[in-house]
């Protein structure tokens, strides 16, 4: 390679591609072959050997295809004639490889012991760290792998922090590790680029890169803030601060799936304020809003266990999702909630059952099977609530005797 004092951009880019393929081909295949062998050893006692070998064969084919692409590009010198095409194929190969490792880890979290799962995570982190050495020639090549291998694992761990004791720590640590790798990769990449270009507009290029990085960081921060605001608007009830129906449906679906896997219970309590329309007519809607806010606070106090979800289901109806709660436990929670409401002694002179605010509740507990849908469970609780109203209000009605499936 000929070094010039003012090397053209196109030639610089082609030189980076050439160096990356020359130095990264063998290192890529070797590091991932070690990873495949270790993964087979981890999954061997827990999965069918045919599945493991099929995965290993498919991954080896992916590595072979990537190696052949680099070899052909070097032989045909297509990195000079079509550098953008070679560049895109390199990024696609790195992203595909990273996505495979992320998928394997998420799969392992449900099929292997936690120690083996963390061993696999350590292996993936080591492969990523090793990749820095030969990937920094083209920074985006390493980022493509990083953001498809460790980044999804980090966010998956944060999104499922309650499933395993260290998921939250792992997610935060991986995000920090990704940030460190990005900084290291960026600095080494710049140094390497300056070594190739010598004095080629060094200060101007550094300033442009810094401005671009700051602009992208600001834009990403704005996008994250906007996305967070949109999520809050979509999932949070403005009056009570509780989750809304969207949150309930998602939580019920997740708890049904978890209970189905674990063979455990899931319970719902659907609560309605007795004669709430009469209350609004008597005391005014602002007073009614205060009652709803107070009920929201009481329901949050009544839901003391981790994983329980309180939401406003609509109007004066609230719902409480109790994962793992047996029938007796759900009924005790409902009775405690009824007592808490009565202890508040909120006046309601136009009520047909008492001179204070009272509530009616429908309780349902199931041990879900494959045919149970979230809507079925909520409908069952709603039917129990309807019976509570029909039978005179200010009472708790359980949706029949507990049965393992709603369809029996």
**Each residue of 280-324: pLDDT tens digit?**
999 999 999 999 999 989 988 887 677 788 888 888 899 999 998
Exposed (0-12), middle (13-18) or buried (19+): which is 295, by Cβ within 10 Å?
A: buried
Considering only residues 116 and 228, tell me which one the structure prediction assigns the higher pLDDT: 116
| pTM for the whole structure | 0.45
What does the pLDDT look like over 172-188, one tens digit per residue? 998 898 888 888 887 77
What is the Cα–Cα distance from 69 to 51, expressed in whole angstroms?
27
Q: What is the DSSP letter of 369?
A: -
Q: How confident is residue 403, by pLDDT bands cut at 50, 70 and 90? A: very low
Neighbouring residues of 267: CB distance < 8 A, sequence distance ≥ 6: 321, 322, 325, 326, 327, 329, 330, 363, 364, 365, 366
What does the pLDDT look like over 29-52, one tens digit per residue? 888 888 888 888 888 888 788 888
> For 86-95, 240-249, 398-407, which range has the lowest pLDDT when averaged over its residues?
398-407
Predicted pLDDT at 274: 92
Cα 39 to its chain centre, rounded Å, is 24
Q: How confident is residue 362, by pLDDT bands cut at 50, 70 and 90? A: very high
What is the Cα–Cα distance from 376 to 225, expressed in whole angstroms?
36
Q: What angle do CA 322, 323, 324 make, to 5 degrees?
A: 115
What is the Cα–Cα distance from 400 to 369, expressed in whole angstroms?
18
In the predicted structure, residue 1 carries a pLDDT above the cut 50: no
What is the Cα–Cα distance from 138 to 341, expressed in whole angstroms?
64
Q: Is 273 helix (H, G, I), strand (E, B) or coil?
A: strand
Q: What is the DSSP letter of 37?
A: H
Q: Is 355 helix (H, G, I), strand (E, B) or coil?
A: coil
What does the pLDDT look like over 318-333, one tens digit per residue? 999 999 889 998 999 9
What does the pLDDT look like over 101-160, one tens digit per residue? 888 888 888 887 888 888 888 888 888 887 776 677 788 888 888 888 888 888 888 888
Q: How confident is residue 201, by pLDDT bands cut at 50, 70 and 90? A: low
User: Averaged over 389-407, what is the pLDDT?
Assistant: 70
Positive or negative CA dihedral for 371, 374, 375, 380? positive
Q: How confident is residue 19, by pLDDT bands cut at 50, 70 and 90? A: confident
Cβ 155 vs Cβ 171: under 8 Å:
yes
Catalytic residues: 316
Report whether CATH 3.40.50.1110 matches the domain 245-398: no
What is the Cα–Cα distance from 361 to 270, expressed in whole angstroms?
6
Predicted pLDDT at 206: 60
């Amino acid at each position: 390679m000929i070094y010039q004092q003012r090397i053209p951009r196109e030639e610089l880019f082609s030189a980076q591609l050439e160096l990356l393929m020359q130095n990264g081909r063998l290192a890529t295949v070797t590091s991932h072959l070690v990873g495949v062998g270790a993964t087979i050893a981890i999954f061997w006692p827990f999965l069918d050997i045919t599945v493991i070998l099929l995965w290993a064969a498919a991954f080896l084919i992916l590595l072979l295809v990537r190696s052949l692409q680099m070899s052909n590009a070097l032989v045909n010198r297509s990195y000079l004639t079509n550098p953008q095409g070679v560049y895109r194929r390199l990024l696609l190969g790195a992203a595909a490889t990273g996505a495979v490792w992320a998928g394997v880890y998420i799969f392992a979290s449900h099929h292997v012991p936690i120690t083996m799962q963390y061993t696999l995570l350590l292996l993936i982190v080591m492969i990523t760290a090793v990749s820095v050495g030969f990937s920094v020639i083209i920074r985006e090549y390493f980022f493509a792998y990083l953001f498809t291998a460790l980044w999804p694992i980090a966010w998956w761990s944060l999104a499922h922090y309650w499933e395993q004791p260290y998921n939250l720590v792992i997610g935060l640590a991986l995000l920090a590790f990704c940030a460190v790798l990005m900084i290291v990769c960026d600095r080494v990449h710049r140094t390497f680029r300056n070594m190739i270009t010598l004095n080629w507009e060094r200060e101007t290029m550094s300033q442009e890169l810094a401005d671009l990085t700051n602009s992208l960081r600001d834009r990403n921060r704005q996008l994250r803030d906007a996305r967070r605001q949109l999520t809050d608007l979509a999932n949070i009830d403005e009056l009570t601060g509780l989750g809304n129906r969207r949150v309930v449906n998602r939580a019920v679906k997740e708890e049904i799936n978890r209970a189905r896997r674990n063979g455990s219970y899931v319970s719902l309590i659907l609560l309605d304020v007795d004669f709430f329309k009469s209350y609004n007519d008597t005391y005014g809607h602002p007073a009614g809003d205060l009652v709803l806010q107070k009920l929201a606070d009481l329901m949050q106090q009544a839901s003391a266990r981790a994983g329980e979800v309180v939401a406003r289901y609509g109007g004066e109806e609230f719902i409480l999702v109790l994962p793992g709660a047996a029938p007796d436990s759900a009924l005790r929670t409902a009775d405690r909630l009824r007592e808490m409401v009565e202890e508040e002694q909120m006046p309601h002179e136009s009520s047909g059952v008492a001179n204070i605010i009272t509530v009616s509740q429908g309780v349902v507990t199931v041990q879900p099977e494959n045919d149970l849908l979230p809507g079925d469970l909520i409908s069952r609780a709603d039917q129990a609530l309807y019976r509570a109203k029909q039978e005179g209000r200010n009472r708790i009605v359980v949706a029949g005797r507990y049965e393992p499936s709603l369809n029996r």
